[in-house]
Copies of this chain bind each other. A is one copy, B any other.
Amino acid sequence: MKPASPAATYRILGVDTALRTTGYGVIEATGARLRALDAGVIRTSPKEPFSECLRRLSGGVRELVKVHAPDMVAIEGAFYCRNVRTSMVLGSARGAVIAVLAEMAIPMYEYAPRRVKQAVCGYGNASKQQVALLVAQILGISVANLGDDSTDALALAICHAHAFQARGGLAVPPPL
């Protein structure tokens, strides 16, 4: 794992974790220039046993790390949850993802949805459509074929890139 510096070229994997549809997006940053490398989703089926879904999720993330060799990961913070049951399920998905990333020694940073919207759109109440539009503009890509989960993951990666580059990295939260 090479230490990333804001001036060098480095890669960020954004992960928007959920049990059923986990969005991911990989960007490469060279100074202030950001380039999209990959985006998509890891899907699991309600027909599969719960343990198999978590295995696919952690296996999918491990595969992404092997393919793209990200220097850092940005994940959505577990800040909003409706109820105890939903929290438990989302927590399980996050635990499977975080444990495999930690095992591969990739530094992780957590960002609240509001902060991601603020970083990408300039205000924390932006809609998913507005986030997608700005992600397309910032990265110079078409997002017509990407779902919200993937554009949200790219937005997470962009949010971390901005934090990493701004004010000598002072805006970067402590690693998870």
Q: Which residue of B lies closest to A51 (CB)?
A: B102
- By size class, the interface of chain A is 35 or more
When each residue 33-67 of chain A gets 1 if its CB lies under 8 Å from chain B and 0 otherwise, what string results? 00000000000000001111011011100000000
Write out, one digit per residue, whether chain A residues 100-138 have a CB within 8 A of any chain B CB (1) or not (0).
Answer: 111100001000000000000000000000000000000
- Say whether A140 faces chain B, with CB atoms less than 8 Å apart: no
Residue A81, interface by CB 8 Å: yes
Q: How far is the CB of A138 from chain B (nearest CB, A)?
A: 27
B92 contacts A98, CB within 8 Å?
yes
Interface code A76-109, partner B: CB below 8 Å = 1, 0 otherwise?
Answer: 0010010111011111111111111111000010
Which of A49, A88, A108, A174 has the most chain B CB within a 10 Å cutoff?
A: A88
A55 CB contact (under 8 Å) in B51, B52, B94, B103: B103
- With an 8 A cutoff between CB atoms, is A176 at the interface? yes
* Any B CB within 8 A of the CB of A175: yes
Within 8 A of B (CB), among A2-27: none
Contact residues of A with B, CB < 8 Å?
49-52, 54-55, 57-59, 78, 81, 83-85, 87-103, 108, 174-176
Q: Which 9 A-B pairs have the closest CB atoms?
A: A91-B91, A95-B95, A92-B95, A55-B102, A96-B99, A87-B87, A51-B102, A88-B91, A58-B99
